[in-house]
Amino acid sequence: MDRVIFHIDVNNAFLSWEAVHRLEQGISGPDLRTIACAVGGDIEKRHGVILAKSMEAKKYKVQTGEPITDALKKCPNLLIIPPTHSIYGKYSEAFMNILHKYSDKVEQVSVDEAFMDMTGMEKLFGAPLEAAARIQSEIYDSLGFTVNVGISSCKILAKMASDFEKPNKIHTLFLNEIKTKMWPLPVGDLFSVGKASAKKLNSMGIMTIGELAQTEPEILRSHLKKHGECIWRFANGLDESLVEPVPAENKGYGNSTTLPADVTESAEAKKILLSLAEKVGRRLREDDARIEVVSVGIRFYDLSNISHQMVLSSPTNITAEIHSAACRLFDEMWDGTPIRLLAVQTGRVSHGESNRQLSLFDNTDYEKLEKLDKAIDDIRKKYGSDAVCRASFVERI
């Protein structure tokens, strides 16, 4: 049976949720979605950028991720409202609860988007377009905001489809549609192609997604390493990754950090990943838990996001293993675009003793690494988290 994958994305999430909240609270004034309005952070701080914008603001070419000062130059009458983060969790949870009514395989990507595996659901909810319309209507009728739905046989194409015309639209992008719907688009529109990659591809004469798809993978690898092969596969609609539901007990084992300044060096990013892996590993060990899936998320300076994940050969809670996997994932997807946020998440949690699969070609002394982690945990528990510091972090203290 061919897979049916949905990507559901809330339209202008923060702005929509601010608008719905004000309507629910009876706050006077127009619906924020009908005027030139944007949600923006504090100009005096790191977060002085546009987080979400209305369709009216979009007419002035206001862009998500740009400095508020630049947005005001484009649209002097732009109403800037501060983010109310305390309400976003409520709407996000309600949104996800509706999605879980239609599928038991829902992978939450962020507060405002998720993948759904709808394979075999036709008998319950109708054909894919009909099911998507039902989900879309229930979200609007129950919660008051709109979503876009992308439909395909794989995650990457469903994601691309949901980014087509907005708001409140449903789009399909199956393999037999990519030549007409996706290939004519600028190469920078392809998921996982950041500004740095787009610039490099353009310099190679690759201007559209179709031209990327028809380029020899070896040529792309020679210029963009593993990332070149990855985006070639995406351009051809090749994506076998599964929709990975995360059980509730798994949600706590992850950490992220928003960086005080954009990171543009791989070595610095990997130090940050090590810090995150240490925090995740310590929490796992405190709960006598181990994980088999590691994922890394990157938010770029323009607030676009990308994430990759991998399955480990054996369950682990060893910091070094988690960090090694995180670095491998980072190398596979980072193209040099400045980084604003990094995250390490884990999945497939188990408890108790590890059933590690031994390999003749693996000489790693896992018992020694486990003892090292335990010794560090004990010292930090007794004397404080700063009692032991890795040498690579000394220059950052």
**CATH classification at residue 90:** 3.30.70.270
Length of the chain (residues)? 397
What is the number of structural domains in the chain? 3
Helix 85-100 with 13-24: angle, nearest 10 deg: 100
In a domain, 243, yes or no: no
Element (H, E) at 56: helix 55-58
Q: What is the per-residue pLDDT for 361?
A: 45
Strand partners, 155: none
Domain's final residue, options 144, 160, 175: 175
The predicted pLDDT at position 375 comes to 79
188 and 284: one domain? no
**Which stretches in the chain have pLDDT values below 70?**
1, 42-47, 246-252, 352-366, 380, 382-397
Q: What is the pLDDT of residue 393?
A: 52
The pLDDT of residue 310: 86
Q: Same structural domain for residues 186 and 171?
A: no
pLDDT tens string 90-147: 999 999 999 999 999 999 888 899 999 999 999 999 999 999 999 999 999 999 999 9
**79 and 105 share one domain:** yes
pLDDT at 220: 94
Please indicate, yes or no, whether residues 374 and 256 belong to a single structural domain of this protein: yes
pLDDT at 217: 93
Do 301 and 260 share a domain, yes or no? yes
Domain of residue 188, residue span: 182-235
The candidate with the shortest Cα–Cα distance to 281, out of 246, 312, 316, 325, is 316
In a domain, 241, yes or no: no
Residue 276 lies in a domain: yes
Residue 390: per-residue pLDDT = 60
Query: Residue 225 domain-assigned?
Result: yes
Q: Is residue 240 assigned to a domain?
A: no
Clarify whether residues 198 and 152 are in a common domain: no
Residues 202 and 225 in one domain: yes
Residue 57 is predicted with a pLDDT of: 95
Q: Active-site residue among 113, 244, 278, 321?
A: 113
Q: Residue 287: what pLDDT?
A: 87
Same domain, 121 and 263: no
Identify whether 242 is part of a domain.
no
How much is the pLDDT for 111?
86
Residues 70 and 196 in one domain: no
On whether both 219 and 267 belong to a single domain, the answer is no
Report pLDDT for 327: 93
The sign of the torsion formed by the CA atoms of 44, 50, 52, 58 equals positive
- Domain end point (choices 211, 235, 259): 235
Please tell me whether residues 376 and 259 are part of one structural domain: yes
Q: How far is CA 95 from CA 138, 202, 307, 373, in A?
A: 10, 39, 21, 39
Q: Is 229 a catalytic residue?
A: no
6/132 Cα distance (integer angstroms): 8
pLDDT of residue 342: 95
- Per-residue pLDDT at 359: 47
Same domain, 74 and 140: yes
Angstrom distance (rounded) from CA 328 to CA 137: 41
